[in-house]
């Protein structure tokens, strides 16, 4: 099970707590694969983390993996074992903006 931490506004939208777990059957496990399952399990999140059509990350959200910024690495990069095993969460973080 992959653990995903969401920003507060998306937790409220999806009606979940700070962290959700998703069962990702795809191999290898990528951010895109995790988001695919996340959006399936929580349809309210469709279009809010990545664009509907292009599947690109929304500009004001970022992905952190094992304390590294993976926002520009690409959705299809293979996630490390610590994320795949659920030892560490995939962080979806809202950019600090708005003054």
Contact residues toward other proteins (CB under 8 A) are 7-10, 12-13, 43-44, 46-49, 51-53, 58, 60-61, 94-95, 97-98
Judged by beta carbon, residue 3 or residue 58, the one nearer other proteins is 58
Judged by beta carbon, residue 7 or residue 89, the one nearer other proteins is 7
CB of 53 vs other proteins, minimal distance in Å: 6
| Whole-number Cα distances in Å, 80 to 6, 73, 85, 94 | 19, 13, 9, 22
Judged by beta carbon, residue 18 or residue 87, the one nearer other proteins is 18
Q: How many CB atoms lie within 10 A of CB 17?
A: 9
Element (H, E) at 35: helix 31-41
What's the number of CA atoms in the CB half-sphere (13 Å) around residue 25?
1
CB of 92 vs other proteins, minimal distance in Å: 10
């Amino acid at each position: 099970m992959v653990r995903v931490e969401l920003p507060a506004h998306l937790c409220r939208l999806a009606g979940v707590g700070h962290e959700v777990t998703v069962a990702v059957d795809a191999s290898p496990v990528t951010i895109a694969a995790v988001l695919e399952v996340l959006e399936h399990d929580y349809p309210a999140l469709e279009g809010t983390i990545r664009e509907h059509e292009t599947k690109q990350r929304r500009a004001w959200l970022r992905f952190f993996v094992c304390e590294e910024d993976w926002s520009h690495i690409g959705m299809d990069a293979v996630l490390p074992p610590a994320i795949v095993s659920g030892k560490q969460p995939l962080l979806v973080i809202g950019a600090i903006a708005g003054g």
